[in-house]
Amino acid sequence: MKNIRFYELLCYNSNRKITNRKFEGAVMELKASNGEGIDSWKEVTLIYNAALRQIETKMEILNDEFQHVHQYNPIEHIKARIKTPESIVKKLKRNGYESTIDNMVKYINDIAGIRIICSFTSDIYRIVDMISDQKDIKVIGVKDYITYPKASGYKSYHMIVTVPVYLSDRIVDTKVEIQIRTVAMDFWASLEHKIHYKFEGDAPEHIKSELIECAKLVSDLDVRMLSLNEEVVAISHGGERVCP
Ligand code: 0O2
């Protein structure tokens, strides 16, 4: 399984010289109530990174176990990222909150984000169940954009969970957003995300409707690939239905 961290340890390593002005500006804007902007940012990202690593490891173990028991991997790959300070500040402002570390921890659910990419839609709910069954993971919210896609055509299953991070002197229940989607949904969402940013959320109508058309094709593709795979699996097991 290939793991990609896009902003891994961006500001986690205290020896790293922070040179990016835009980045530093956004971090400075995220003032802690005690006035220790950068130090607090380092501390919170250390905790969020620890939470991400825990969830990633759990998912790898579950995937290995699934392979062992069912000779099948529901997870294609995992991507993990810490939201950039610029993006956190933008989201806080958009939601009418002052840019503080306290507000970011309280109101931004996707500072630590994991994206789990699988082959088939049936894998999505299998992964959701596996996560929900983990005793130390608490599911605090879900958004099922698979059953109820967004008007844009966006499909994905979102879970907001907390995981305990054990520090030397305390345990911090830390929020992580888990997005679960198929390879095809991920392809669509990546392009749509780029277009959304390029046009600052106001893409021309013909592009929006083309994206909605493409989302329908993606859904159709997912249905057909699942049914094809089920047929092949059934044939290779002499008609016996097994995973997926
Ligand atoms: P970015 O740049 O990806 O980080 P909540 O987090 O629950 O307080 P929010 O953010 O409205 O409120 O929740 P939602 O709808 O679950 O969206 C969270 C994330 O899902 C977004 O983060 C996107 O990553 C993704 N997402 C949601 N809707 C769409 C969509 O229509 N298209 C694409 N491509 N991605 C989407 P951010 O912070 O908005 O953006």
Q: Is 194 in the pocket of ligand 1 (CB under 6 A)?
A: no
Closest by Cα among 120, 155, 116, 127 to 226: 120
Is 218 a residue whose pLDDT tops 50? yes
For 2-184, CATH number out of 3.90.79.10, 3.40.50.300, 3.30.70.890, 3.30.460.10 equals 3.30.460.10
Predicted confidence (pLDDT) per residue in 136-150, tens digit: 999 999 999 999 999
Q: What is the pLDDT of residue 233?
A: 86
Dist. CA 196 → ligand 1 center (Å): 11
Residue with the bigger pLDDT between 117 and 18: it is 117
Q: What is the pLDDT of residue 16?
A: 38
Q: Which atom of ligand 1 is nearest to the CA of 109?
A: 6
Q: What is the pLDDT of residue 77?
A: 94
Predicted confidence (pLDDT) per residue in 161-184, tens digit: 999 999 999 999 999 999 999 999
- DSSP lists the bridge partners of residue 161 as 139, 176
The answer to whether 151 and 208 have CB atoms below 8 angstroms apart is no
Lowest mean pLDDT among 12-16, 72-76, 101-105, 213-217: 12-16
Closest by Cα among 59, 32, 61, 64 to 45: 32
Q: What is the pLDDT of residue 5?
A: 33
Q: Is 192 in the pocket of ligand 1 (CB under 6 A)?
A: yes
Q: Is 79 in the pocket of ligand 1 (CB under 6 A)?
A: no
Dist. CA 58 → ligand 1 center (Å): 24
Dist. CA 193 → ligand 1 center (Å): 9
Q: What is the pLDDT of residue 34?
A: 54
The answer to whether 155 and 215 have CB atoms below 8 angstroms apart is yes
Predicted confidence (pLDDT) per residue in 79-89, tens digit: 999 999 999 99
Residue ID of nearest Cα to ligand 1 atom 30: 154
Q: What is the pLDDT of residue 84?
A: 92
Residue ID of nearest Cα to ligand 1 atom 28: 154
Is 35 a residue whose pLDDT tops 50? yes
Residue with the bigger pLDDT between 200 and 25: it is 200
Closest by Cα among 54, 90, 80 to 174: 54
How would residue 237 be classed by pLDDT, with cut points 50, 70 and 90? confident
Q: What is the pLDDT of residue 39?
A: 61
Stretch 115-135: mean pLDDT, rounded?
A: 96
Stretch 124-137: mean pLDDT, rounded?
A: 96
Residue with the bigger pLDDT between 206 and 25: it is 206
Q: Which of 82, 83, 92, 110 to mutate to test the pocket of ligand 1 (most atoms within 8 A of CB)?
A: 110
Q: Is 158 in the pocket of ligand 1 (CB under 6 A)?
A: yes
Residue ID of nearest Cα to ligand 1 atom 23: 193
